[in-house]
Amino acid sequence: MKVNRSAATAIFAGSAILALALTGCSAGGGGGQSSTSATLTVWVDANRVEEMQDIAAKFEDDKGIKVELVQKEYGDVMRNDFIQQVPAGEGPDVMVGGNDWLGQLVQNGVVAPLELGDTAANFSDVAIGAMTYDEVTYGLPVSLENIALLRNTALASSTPATWDELIAAGQAVVASGAAQYPVLVPSDPVDSDPYHLYPLQTSYGAPLFAFDADSGYDTSELLVGSEGGNAFAAKLVEWGAAGIINTSITGDIARDEFAAGKAPFMLSGPWNLPAFQEGGIDYAIEAIPQAGPDAPTPFVGVQGFFVSSQSKNAIAANEFVVNYLGSEEAQLALYEAGGRPPALNSAFEIASAENPDVGAFGEVGRTGVPMPSIPEMGAVWDNLGATQSALLNGTAGDPTEAWQAMTERLREVVGG
Amino acid sequence: MTTTELQSSSGTDRSRKRQRPIARAAAGAPSTWVVLIKIISLGVLDAVVIYAAFILALNEDWVLAAVALVAATLINWIYIRRGSLPAKYLIPGTVFLLIFQMYAIVYSGYVAFTNYGDGHIGSKEAAVEALINKSLTRVPDSPAYPMVVVEQFGQLSFLVTDPDGEALIGGEDRPLQPADADLEGDRAVAVEGYTTLDFAGVLAEQEQLAAMSVPLTDDPNDGALRTPDGSQAFVYSAKMQYDETADAFIDTATGKIYEDTGDGAFVAADGTQLMPGWKIDVGFENFVRAFTEESIRGPLIAVVLWTFVFAGFTVAATFAVGVFLALILNDWRLRFRRTFRVLVILPYAFPVFLSALIWSGMLNPQFGFINQVLFGGAQIPWLTDPILAKFSILMVSLWLGYPYMFLVATGALQSIPEELVEAAKVDGAGPWAVFRRIKLPLLMVSMAPLLIASFAFNFNNFNLIYMLTRGGPQDITTDMNVGATDILITLVYKVAFGETGGRDFGLASAFSIIIFVLVAVISVISFRRTKTLEELN
């Protein structure tokens, strides 16, 4: 009897397993069919899903097409699922995403070009530029994100005009005993932080690639290895030795120390503001002072919506993205969701009147350049970070040599 | 199912003899319940399989559909027929093994022979379609044309109003021509003999409309109107023409020709590729690249050496520390043994991800716990000096790995008969001799296979390296993106998922097969050698 009961259990377990596995398969197959019906499937992150519901409901009322919002974790999972599923005829019609994904999405042919028509002029240039790859616009920009200079108003009454003066002012505050660090720049012992250092780097006239507002980045023209790059490299060694920029200060440490009122200045993005407010810091958000001969241009990351190249609802998806998500109402609703400056100019005006922090970050963002989205960026960051960290740590040897060696590696990376 | 049941069903001869008559009797007259459960579960399985096969067949996945049906038939046959008890036990496990293990192995084996990766994900048709869509760009500064979609005898046309207020009508391959249209304001909305589609009508035809190009004039070089939303049309011109007969793309501005040269992409004579490409089989190319790729070959010797040092040291050190602690905590004279044991295995309770991140914080030169507290504020560059970084990796690896060895050694030590130790002591052996000549050999019998498994695991211990140092610090004077603590698998990750512009799954699969072979060979040799240990028993 015992034996038989076990056999029955085994049968049951076996069939349950197989059933599960097979339903998994068949569900995958069925998913592809839903896109042929008049339902618009939209992948959206948890932060935005609530605000999206109203916009979707309005679209349903106006156009009679159901919008199905599928909540997915924002980031690599969403991006990779999109790249895997769209070529198989599955995946959503519309997806939220970052402009830095664009290169990979275009490389895989999974996004459809998006014609914004004459509405393109209503968005900030940097936002449209970020959604453009190889001179084709692919996405509707929603929100902008960039770093700026944060000043602790209790420790410094004004922001100096240049980076050197800022260091001097910071050192004076430290000498008076009111602070511990002249300025905080988030970094990392091994990889440093090329993103936070980029405005200083561009100020020395050494941006990564040639950039044109209309045609975007020209990766064949590496400006990073220019004469200004060598000057920047030498400065990194100087700042590292003087302890102005310390690779031991990670993003978390920088945030905590500034929130504790231990520094008059910090390079920071809007993501740290809640911590500073909690720490009771009175801060001002200002443009990053000029370090070298040029104006500093921080990278601007832009989030927006992309339409799948295999969407069976191309016209409905286009209508939803351009005319609904691009509306002032929707841009403001999505701004409420994330607290980032909206990409639509009129929405940005309203948002910055409501929240000066958003306005201030947005103003700095307007001077910025879009984050490059070429698929090779991962390797570019690695090389940039390793060299900058070695320069700051004083282990790089001759700065010019190290910088030029890095330029050669970058040429290899983006060229091959 | 309990262990005793397992043992009684597949145990010694004696128990099998005892079981057989019962089993046979039960099989001859199974209880109604058993039959019922059997029929229901097989029925559910069959229903699901038939449904799945139906769906698969609809999607023209003939192979999968056939496999599902054959598997279901086999399972039915095994469970319905009498006897073949072992098969009945083995089936669930085998199904698991096939679905979750074999499929993954076979699939990565297959991927290793393709160019699957970023830019080579889909089919050629999809790539051509994407390239055509991408090549159509709006003519700069061209005006927008207000429009409606009209239909006549099932044929769709664009009714547009040009910037001068003229109404024009045209369709696919039918250039625009003047139309006598009804105006609403200054916008043409209807024309005699045609039905104007409302938005719902537009949506019903959206697949066709999205693909429609209406030539402006007879001359194709003037461009064509396309509509993204059915209410506005824009003038597009193609930067690239697809020639179907020649299977090639031609750049309309420069005349450059991109051909399908069998590389899974359209390639120009000068080597520039159009992206996206498509997935093709490439034979052994990935394996050839694995051995010739300069970014792998250059640092290969140093990296392989360090991989062996890392895996070897980790195994040896965790084994030594684990056994040492097990010996001490196995001594009944020690008080609070249980408390100590719990403390000792604590590192085992944290996920590696978390531990590695915490360690990287603790090893921070200026703010980390190690330098601040243990070294009184000295700024030791634990993670940025090439030698110290290696040292840090080894120490953290030891910290993460010894609890496992401790657990296993504790169990193995307790199974060593006390008489043997007693006998040795009577013969005058000291503690060291007892350990060296009695306990260690007996320990090795059960632990040697685990040491080999541990070596194989650490050989590919991607998580620890990547979370702690990301392979760095990089030697920035060379032209290689390789760090001092990169082991083989992290180097492969960097090359396959970064250097080549996107993720190259084909190359990564080829590498993982090579690493698998390497580890397998080492393991087989080691297992052969441990056979001699087993003869001790």
Helices (H) and strands (E) in chain B, counts: 23, 16
Delineate the domains of chain A, giving CATH numbers in brackets. 35-145+301-370 (3.40.190.10), 148-297+374-415 (3.40.190.10)
Give A 121-180 residues with CB within 8 A of chain B: 134-136
Cβ contact, residue pair A389, B384, below 8 Å: yes
Residues A52-71: tens digit of each pLDDT: 998 999 999 888 888 999 99
- Across B195-318, where does the E strand assignment appear? 195-196, 214-215, 224-226, 232-238, 240-243, 248-251, 257-260, 266-268, 273-274
Give A 348-377 residues with CB within 8 A of chain B: 374-376
Cβ contact, residue pair B501, A19, below 8 Å: no
| Sequence ranges of the domains in chain B | 136-238, 309-477
Q: What is the distance between the alpha carbons of residues B76 and B43, in angstroms, rounded to a whole number?
A: 9
Residues A381-397: tens digit of each pLDDT: 888 998 999 899 888 88
Q: What is the distance between the alpha carbons of residues A270 and A360, in angstroms, rounded to a whole number?
A: 10
B42 in contact with A, Cβ within 8 Å: yes
Query: Taking CA atoms, what residue in B is nearest to A20?
Result: B48
pTM: 0.80
B393 CB contacts (<8 Å, ≥6 apart)? B310, B464, B465, B468, B469, B485
Task: Kindly state the helix (H) or strand (E) to which residue A394 belongs, with its residue range.
Answer: none
CB < 8 Å to A310, chain B: 126
Residues A39-57: tens digit of each pLDDT: 899 999 988 888 899 899 9
Residue to mutate among B48, B362, B476, with most A CBs inside 10 A, is: B476
Q: Measuring CA to CA, how many Å separate B338 from each of B330, B342, B393? A: 10, 6, 30
CB < 8 Å to A8, chain B: 34, 37-38, 41
CB atoms within 10 A of CB B376: 7
Asked whether the domain spanning B309-477 has the same topology as the one spanning B136-238, the reply is no
CB atoms within 10 A of CB B279: 22
User: Residue B536: what pLDDT?
Assistant: 56
Cβ contact, residue pair B41, A104, below 8 Å: no
User: Residue A23: what pLDDT?
Assistant: 40
Residue found under tokens 């099932």: B154
A27 in contact with B, Cβ within 8 Å: no
Question: Strand B273-274 to strand A369-370: parallel, antiparallel, or no bridges (unpaired)?
Answer: unpaired
Residue found under tokens 């057989």: B20
Query: Taking CA atoms, what residue in B is nearest to A136?
Result: B137
Q: At residue A11, does pLDDT exceed 80? A: no
CB < 8 Å to A135, chain B: 137
Cβ contact, residue pair B481, A104, below 8 Å: no
B396 CB contacts (<8 Å, ≥6 apart)? B355, B356, B359, B464, B468
According to DSSP, residue A101 is labeled: G
Q: What is the distance between the alpha carbons of residues B411 and A83, in angstroms, rounded to a whole number?
A: 48
CB atoms within 10 A of CB B52: 26
Residue found under tokens 């975007």: A216
Per-residue model confidence as pLDDT tens for chain B (537 residues) = 344 444 444 444 444 444 444 444 444 566 888 888 888 989 999 999 999 999 888 888 888 889 889 988 988 888 888 877 888 888 888 888 888 888 888 888 899 999 888 888 888 888 888 888 888 888 877 888 888 888 888 888 888 888 888 888 888 888 888 888 888 877 888 888 888 888 888 888 888 888 888 888 887 777 888 888 888 888 888 888 888 888 889 888 888 889 888 888 898 888 888 888 888 888 888 888 888 877 777 778 888 899 999 999 999 999 999 999 888 888 778 888 888 888 888 888 888 888 888 888 888 888 888 888 888 878 888 888 888 899 999 999 999 888 999 989 888 888 888 888 888 888 888 888 888 888 888 888 888 888 888 988 898 888 888 888 888 788 777 666 778 888 888 888 887 887 666 788 888 899 888 888 888 898 888 888 777 766 655
Query: Taking CA atoms, what residue in B is nearest to A253?
Result: B367
Cβ contact, residue pair B75, A18, below 8 Å: yes
Q: Measuring CA to CA, how many Å separate B37 from each of A15, A364, B76, B479? A: 11, 69, 14, 66
* CA atoms within 13 A of residue B306's CA, in its CB half-sphere: 25
Query: Taking CA atoms, what residue in B is nearest to A188?
Result: B364
Cβ contact, residue pair B1, A6, below 8 Å: yes
B366 in contact with A, Cβ within 8 Å: yes
B109 in contact with A, Cβ within 8 Å: no
B287 CB contacts (<8 Å, ≥6 apart)? B112, B510, B513, B514
Extract the tokens encoding A48: 């935005």
B367 in contact with A, Cβ within 8 Å: yes
Q: Which residues pair with B290 in a beta bridge?
A: none
Cβ contact, residue pair A10, B502, below 8 Å: no
Give B 162-221 residues with CB within 8 A of chain A: 199-200, 202-203, 206-207, 209-210
Cβ contact, residue pair B37, A389, below 8 Å: no
Query: Taking CA atoms, what residue in A is nearest to B54?
Result: A26
CATH class given for the domain over B136-238: mainly beta
- What are residue B293's phi and psi, to 5 degrees? -55, 120
* Cross-chain CB nearest to B499 (options A9, A114, A413): A413
The shortest C-alpha distance from B467 to chain A (Å) reads: 12
* Cross-chain CB nearest to A250 (options B1, B234, B364): B364
Query: Taking CA atoms, what residue in A is nearest to B481?
Result: A383
Cβ contact, residue pair A15, B42, below 8 Å: yes
Task: Answer positive or negative: Cα dihedral of B493, B494, B497, B499.
Answer: negative
Helices (H), B377-475: 386-414, 418-426, 431-433, 440-459, 462-468
Cβ contact, residue pair B234, A115, below 8 Å: yes
Give B 14-33 residues with CB within 8 A of chain A: 19, 22-23, 26-27, 30-31
Residue to mutate among B9, B44, B134, B392, with most A CBs inside 10 A, is: B134
* Cross-chain CB nearest to A382 (options B229, B230, B481): B481
CB atoms within 10 A of CB A4: 20
Cβ contact, residue pair B502, A104, below 8 Å: yes
Cβ contact, residue pair B95, A84, below 8 Å: no
| Whole-number average pLDDT of chain A | 86
Query: Taking CA atoms, what residue in A is nearest to B121?
Result: A108
User: Residue A19: what pLDDT?
Assistant: 44
Beta-carbon pairs below 8 A across chains A and B: 271
- What are residue A167's phi and psi, to 5 degrees? -60, -45
A247 in contact with B, Cβ within 8 Å: yes
ipTM at complex level: 0.76
Contact (CB, 8 A) for B169 and B216: no
Contact (CB, 8 A) for A122 and A342: no
CB < 8 Å to A374, chain B: 501
CB < 8 Å to B494, chain A: 379, 382
Cβ contact, residue pair A408, B59, below 8 Å: no
Cβ contact, residue pair A113, B89, below 8 Å: no
Q: At residue A31, does pLDDT exceed 80? A: no
Extract the tokens encoding B383: 């993670």
b/e A234-264 (16+ beta carbons within 10 angstroms → b): bbbbebbeeebbbbbbbbebbbbbbbebbbb
The shortest C-alpha distance from A159 to chain B (Å) reads: 28
CB < 8 Å to B5, chain A: 2, 6
A270: cis peptide before it, omega within 30°? no
SS3 B158: strand
CATH class given for the domain over B309-477: mainly alpha
A398 in contact with B, Cβ within 8 Å: no
